[in-house]
A and B are shown apart, each in its own frame.
Chain A
Amino acid sequence: MRRAVAVTLTGIPLAVAVFGPVLAGFTNARRGPAYAFGPGYPLGTDGLGRDVLGLVLRGGLSTLALAAAATVAAYGIGTLVGLLAAGTRRRWMDETLMRPLDVLLAVPALLVLLLVAASAGRNAGIIVVVVTVVTAPAVARLVRTAALDAARHPAAEAMVLQGESWWAVHIGYVGRCIVRPLLADAGTRMTTSVYLVGAANFLGVGLPPDAADWAVLVDRNRAGLLLQPWAVLVPAALIVAFTLGVNLLADDLTRRRR
Chain B
Amino acid sequence: MTLAGYGLRRAGVGLLQILAVATLVFAFLEALPGDAAVAAAGDDPDPARIAALRQQFGLDRPVWQRYGDWLGGLVTGDLGASLRSGRPVVSLLGTAAGPTTVLALVTLAVLVPLTVALGVCAAVRAGGWFDRAVSSTTVALHCVPEFALAVLLIAVFALWLGLLPATAVGGGLLEDPALLVLPVVVLLARSAAAPVRTLRGAMIDALASDYVAHARRHGLPRWRVLLGHALPNAAAPAVQQLARTVDWLVGGIIVVEAIFAIPGLSAVLVEAVAARDVPVVQGVTVMVAAVAVLANLTADVIAFRLAPRAGVA
Report A's interface with B, CB cutoff 8 A. Answer: 2, 102-103, 105-112, 114-121, 188, 191-192, 194-195, 198-199, 202-205, 214-215, 218-219, 222, 225-226, 229, 232-233, 235-237, 239-240, 243-244, 247-248, 251
Taking a contact as CB atoms closer than 8 A, the residue among A109, A225, A235, A243 that contacts B247 in the complex is A109
Assuming the contacts A103-B17, A111-B285, A121-B276, asked whether A219 and B155 have C-beta atoms less than 8 A apart, the reply is no
A248 to B142, CA, bound (A): 9
Please indicate the chain B residues that have their CB under 8 angstroms from the CB of A120 in the complex: 32-34
The 10 A-B residue pairs whose C-beta atoms are closest, nearest first, are A110-B251, A236-B148, A118-B281, A195-B143, A191-B143, A239-B148, A108-B250, A103-B20, A198-B145, A118-B273
Please indicate the chain B residues that have their CB under 8 angstroms from the CB of A214 in the complex: 148
A13 to B185, CA, bound (A): 25
Please indicate the chain A residues that have their CB under 8 angstroms from the CB of B139 in the complex: 247-248, 251
Smallest Cβ distance from B251 to chain A, in angstroms?
3
Please indicate the chain A residues that have their CB under 8 angstroms from the CB of B191 in the complex: none
A214 to B145, CA, bound (A): 12
Q: Does A240 lie within 8 Å of B145, measured CB to CB?
A: yes
Q: B194-233: contact bitstring with A at CB < 8 Å (1 yes, 0 no)? A: 0000000000000000000000000000000000000000
Taking a contact as CB atoms closer than 8 A, the residue among B34, B39, B142 that contacts A247 in the complex is B142
Taking a contact as CB atoms closer than 8 A, the residue among B146, B254, B272, B289 that contacts A118 in the complex is B272
Please indicate the chain B residues that have their CB under 8 angstroms from the CB of A205 in the complex: 273
Interface size bracket, B side: 35 or more
Please indicate the chain A residues that have their CB under 8 angstroms from the CB of B254 in the complex: 110-111, 114, 199, 203
Taking a contact as CB atoms closer than 8 A, the residue among A106, A240, A248 that contacts B148 in the complex is A240
Please indicate the chain B residues that have their CB under 8 angstroms from the CB of A116 in the complex: 28, 32
Residue of B at shortest CB range from A126?
Answer: B32
A115 to B277, CA, bound (A): 10
Please indicate the chain B residues that have their CB under 8 angstroms from the CB of A235 in the complex: 148
Q: Does B248 lie within 8 Å of A203, measured CB to CB?
A: no
Assuming the contacts A107-B289, A236-B148, asked whether A225 and B154 have C-beta atoms less than 8 A apart, the reply is yes
**Is residue B52 within 8 Å, beta carbon to beta carbon, of the partner chain?**
no
Residue of A at shortest CB range from B254?
Answer: A110
A244 to B190, CA, bound (A): 11
Q: Does B288 lie within 8 Å of A225, measured CB to CB?
A: no
Please indicate the chain B residues that have their CB under 8 angstroms from the CB of A118 in the complex: 272-273, 276-278, 281
**Is residue B147 within 8 Å, beta carbon to beta carbon, of the partner chain?**
yes
Q: Does B151 lie within 8 Å of A192, measured CB to CB?
A: no
Assuming the contacts A120-B32, A198-B148, A222-B151, asked whether A106 and B296 have C-beta atoms less than 8 A apart, the reply is yes
Residue of A at shortest CB range from B30?
Answer: A119
**Is residue B97 within 8 Å, beta carbon to beta carbon, of the partner chain?**
no
Q: Does A115 lie within 8 Å of B151, measured CB to CB?
A: no
Q: B273-292: contact bitstring with A at CB < 8 Å (1 yes, 0 no)? A: 11011100110110011001
A109 to B33, CA, bound (A): 22
A27 to B17, CA, bound (A): 53
Q: Does A219 lie within 8 Å of B296, measured CB to CB?
A: no
Q: Does A243 lie within 8 Å of B251, measured CB to CB?
A: no
Please indicate the chain A residues that have their CB under 8 angstroms from the CB of B284 in the complex: 111
A236 to B20, CA, bound (A): 37
Please indicate the chain A residues that have their CB under 8 angstroms from the CB of B285 in the complex: 107, 111-112, 114-115
Q: Does A236 lie within 8 Å of B151, measured CB to CB?
A: yes
Assuming the contacts A191-B143, A203-B258, A251-B139, asked whether A218 and B148 have C-beta atoms less than 8 A apart, the reply is yes
Please indicate the chain B residues that have their CB under 8 angstroms from the CB of A229 in the complex: 155, 159
Q: Does B140 lie within 8 Å of A244, measured CB to CB?
A: yes
Residue of B at shortest CB range from A235?
Answer: B148
Please indicate the chain A residues that have their CB under 8 angstroms from the CB of B278 in the complex: 118-119
A7 to B29, CA, bound (A): 43
Please indicate the chain A residues that have their CB under 8 angstroms from the CB of B293 in the complex: 106
A26 to B272, CA, bound (A): 41
Q: Does B149 lie within 8 Å of A247, measured CB to CB?
A: no
Residue of B at shortest CB range from A113?
Answer: B251
Taking a contact as CB atoms closer than 8 A, the residue among A102, A108, A203, A240 that contacts B152 in the complex is A240
Smallest Cβ distance from B77 to chain A, in angstroms?
20
A239 to B152, CA, bound (A): 11
A110 to B29, CA, bound (A): 17
Q: Does B147 lie within 8 Å of A215, measured CB to CB?
A: yes
Please indicate the chain B residues that have their CB under 8 angstroms from the CB of A2 in the complex: 136
Residue of B at shortest CB range from A189?
Answer: B143
Q: Does A232 lie within 8 Å of B151, measured CB to CB?
A: yes
Smallest Cβ distance from B38 to chain A, in angstroms?
10
Please indicate the chain A residues that have their CB under 8 angstroms from the CB of B248 in the complex: 108
Q: B109-151: contact bitstring with A at CB < 8 Å (1 yes, 0 no)? A: 0000000000000000000000000001001111111111101
